[in-house]
Amino acid sequence: MSNVQTHSLFTDFDINLFKAGKHYRLYEKLGAHLIEKDGIKGVYFAVWAPSAASVSVVGDFNYWTGGEHLLQVRWDSSGIWEGFIPNIGHGAIYKYKIASSIGGVITEKADPFSFYCEKPPHTASVVWDLENKWNDESWMLNRKKHNDLDKPYSVYEVHLGSWKRGDDGKTFLTYLDFAKDLVNHVKEMGFTHVEFMPVMEYPYDPSWGYQLTGYFAPTSRFGTPQEFMHLIERLHQNDIGVILDWVPSHFPDDAHGLGFFDGSNLYEHPDRRKGYHPDWKSLVFNYGRSEVRSFLISNALFWLHYYHVDGLRVDAVASMLYLDYSRNDGEWEPNIFGGNQNLDTISFLKEFNEAVYLNYEGVQTIAEESTSFPMVSKPTDMGGLGFGMKWMMGWMHDTLNYFKKDTVYRKYHQNELTFSMTYTFTENFMLPLSHDEVVHGKKSIFGRMPGDEWQKFANLRLLYGYMFTHPGTKLLFMGCEFGQSAEWNFEQSLDWHLLQYPYHSGIKKLITDLNGLYKSEPALYEKQFSSEGFEWINYSDHQNAVFSFIRKGNLEKDNLIIICNFTEVVREDYRIGIPKRGILTELFNSDAKIYGGSDVLDSKKVPIDTFPYDGRDYSAALLLGPLSVKVFKIS
């Protein structure tokens, strides 16, 4: 006889929404919930397993034996098994033991909706209460002013397991440690947002968190859910937004995970051409199944609701959009129109974005999408996918390819930099120098720079100055902000000792000042996604590898003049056209001594001459330091 009492949190309306794929709060119903029934405290369990013949809850409260706590299947063909187990509570460890009606298969699974998991390598779920007293009201009430598309958006991308480790070099820091050290660092550097590589529970460290088994649980490697909430709260209290990497694109086939959950292809697409990812040897969600869509959208909203998250960066969108992604001929099937687009995915992504923006004001979704798929960051009512922003992968590849070239040859490749301006305003682009660019033999960003030590650092300063003055929001991976020289290694801390050396500390000072410039100058963010915010002065001086442009804000007085010298040759009396009379006041110079530069300095005030140049009535003669970018304002 089962020691489970009949109970349900589901209404008929819930079930109808679930079956239709429109239930976006499934985390309130499925999973393990602490309740009181007839004066007795216990846990209500509910799990979706339509192909099961029986489902038992096994755990540390019944010696992991099946049959003692059997759940009951609902009568409504929803496939949900549920029941109340009295006298167990917070901290109970459990799994679902599922006997399938298909071939007698028995699986033992972690709860797809568990709020907390055992610390890897253990794989069970933990009953947990997410109640928390938040103290970030000011941020939550005003975050729209921080998060809008016409605001500065400078993102520090972090892998928590390797940002910094304990004194022994091996021990993970905790969420509480990060709430001090990481918050202080990000605030000092002036970043507006932190983006965490996936914090949802994952079994395998080398996956960096991109192979998830606990979609609703922050990894227990660093502490409890409430401790992760405290980290987010501390960031908010310091006016720093929080973005989470979210992985709806694929999941691992670990025995305790979502794969083959009830003996059937429940979460994954049953057709291997759509349900298996050859690159990552992982399973792909069935985006056309209503209940799976409810699971995924509920998961996205869960992090926005319970953890006060300000944005979701969606991983591997390109792999979701195309049926032939990483597949050869014969390994994929065209859609009903004969094309290669995954129509179920497109529909799902639109629905996901609509749900996010409808339910949470002041948040953003960001797509990591590397193809020319149209209108990724345009509203769904215009025919777009509905994301707030899209990573500008083309800019990243072209820019890094240009910068690795010896300066002697750059005059032949200037179009690699100027080309981005032909498509910059087709999407709301974020410029990423992410973790993917500092692994697998690619070298660190610093390591890609050519020349001797001084030239490498000068090139790096120039790259960052160009990045921060180019239209679009910014993302920089941890370690890049001080010129980490080695490739990123997920198994160890960043090389913080490098900050004792002047060139590295100079890069840190440079990024701090660039963040300050970005936040203080409206011309760098008010029209960052509009062609009205940019104008070339001269992009055709290939011979000298110099170009210049104007960034524009809502008010003409805020406009900035930017000039970049991509060689180590000092340019004296370098003339550029200026749109009006006045004086050029220098706001930033990457060649300054405080950054490790050569200190080839012009006057901080440069007169504008009544001398036509570059098709303009006025001009100014500037002194350009080697491998440098300068920013001016007209006064």
Cα(128)–Cα(217) distance, integer angstroms: 10
Query: Could you tell me if 473 and 359 lie in one domain?
Result: yes
Question: What's the residue count for the chain?
Answer: 635
CATH number reported for the structural domain that contains residue 44 in this entry: 2.60.40.10
Query: Could you tell me if 173 and 303 lie in one domain?
Result: yes
Kindly state the tokens that stand for 127.
């009953």
Query: Could you tell me if 99 and 178 lie in one domain?
Result: no
Q: How far is CA 464 from the centre of its chain?
A: 20
Query: Could you tell me if 43 and 154 lie in one domain?
Result: no
Task: Give me the pLDDT at residue 1, please.
Answer: 45
Q: What is the DSSP string of 117-149?
A: EPPTT---EE----------HHHHHHHHHHHST
In a domain, 122, yes or no: no
Query: Could you tell me if 270 and 176 lie in one domain?
Result: yes
Beta 583-589 vs 605-607: how paired, if at all?
Answer: antiparallel
| Residue where a domain terminates, one of 524, 559, 574 | 524
Query: Could you tell me if 192 and 335 lie in one domain?
Result: yes
Sheet holding 31-37, edge to edge: 31-37, 40-48, 80-86, 72-73
In a domain, 221, yes or no: yes
Please give the model's pTM, rounded to 2 decimal places.
0.96
| Residue where a domain terminates, one of 471, 495, 524 | 524
Cα(528)–Cα(363) distance, integer angstroms: 18
Closest CA to 109 of 463, 99, 615: 99
- Tell me how far CA of residue 619 lies from CA of 310, 574, 629, in angstroms: 44, 10, 18
In a domain, 409, yes or no: yes
Which residues carry out catalysis? Answer: 315, 368
Query: Could you tell me if 492 and 577 lie in one domain?
Result: no
Contact 480, 445 (CB under 8 A): yes
Query: Could you tell me if 87 and 150 lie in one domain?
Result: no
Query: Could you tell me if 478 and 580 lie in one domain?
Result: no
Q: Which residues of the chain have pLDDT under 50?
A: 1
Q: Which amino acid is at 499?
A: L
The whole domain housing 454 covers 137-524
Query: Could you tell me if 409 and 445 lie in one domain?
Result: yes
Task: Give me the pLDDT at residue 2, please.
Answer: 65
| Residue where a domain terminates, one of 90, 109, 128 | 109
Number of domains in the chain: 3
In a domain, 115, yes or no: no
Query: Could you tell me if 246 and 147 lie in one domain?
Result: yes
In a domain, 320, yes or no: yes
In a domain, 6, yes or no: no
Query: Could you tell me if 237 and 284 lie in one domain?
Result: yes
Task: Give me the pLDDT at residue 602, please.
Answer: 67
CATH number reported for the structural domain that contains residue 285 in this entry: 3.20.20.80
